Amino acid sequence: MPADRAALPPTAPGDVHCIYQDADLLVLDKPAGLLCVPGRGPDKQDCLSARAQALWPDALVVHRLDQATSGLVVMARSQAVQRALGQAFAAQQVDKRYHAWVHGSMQPPAGEDGWGEIDAPLAADWPNRPRQQVDWQNGKPSRTLWRVLAHDARQPATLLELRPLTGRTHQLRVHLAHVGHPILGDALYAGAAVQALAPRLLLHACALALAHPATDQPMLWLSHTQLRVHRAPVP
């Protein structure tokens, strides 16, 4: 298991916070607001992959986080490792964990392990792209596990640990909005009052575990970035 270091967000364009590297892969801690890959237009060329490739020219994209989401991203350093990691993600052999502050007071579900599940199929909301939606007829199966970590005593907000069992676009954001607890600061799926409770989307990829593609050794990486809820009361 690699040692992880305290996560400090980049402070200037071109900065990359790498928490682990070896000859086969990199694990980077992406700040909120940074694209994972280039977008369309000259103003969308600064991204995590470009910053990484400036330091590690062999860095290859394996998976992505939403621009608004912060946290851990793994990159491969060869095409063979890229294929192996891509297959691991597709086969759901990568354990991804997130922290999120959501609106409202969510109570732990019944059961000894403290985990609840949101099982709702998702599909693109074509007239309103890039939004996604729950679609019981045409959506793809989508499952998210969740558990309560803490409540904010000053306002109705709950800190959750989330474990997506599938990897649909905006899955965590749509699922939580669907059950009536949108993520604070979510500009796509929360109303104006909930958006105003945070200066950013309070969703962070906090842990990543997988078998190393070269050695098959179990690996676990943790981010120490803390999500901080805004203290303004809910209107």
DSSP state letters, 63-131: ----TT-EEEEEEESSHHHHHHHHHHHHTT-SEEEEEEEEES-PPPPSSSS--EEEE--EEE-GGGTT-
Tell me the C-alpha distance between 176 and 180, whole Å.
6
Q: Which two tokens stand for residue 211?
A: 């078998």
Q: What is the CA radius of gyration of the chain?
A: 18
Site of tokens 């020219």:
57
Work out the number of other CB atoms within 10 angstroms of the CB of residue 59.
23
User: Where does residue 145 rank: exposed (0-12), middle (13-18), buried (19+ CB within 10 A)?
Assistant: middle
Q: Which residues are catalytic?
A: 66
Placement of tokens 């270091």 in the chain: 5
Torsion of CA 83, 88, 91, 96, to 10 degrees: -140
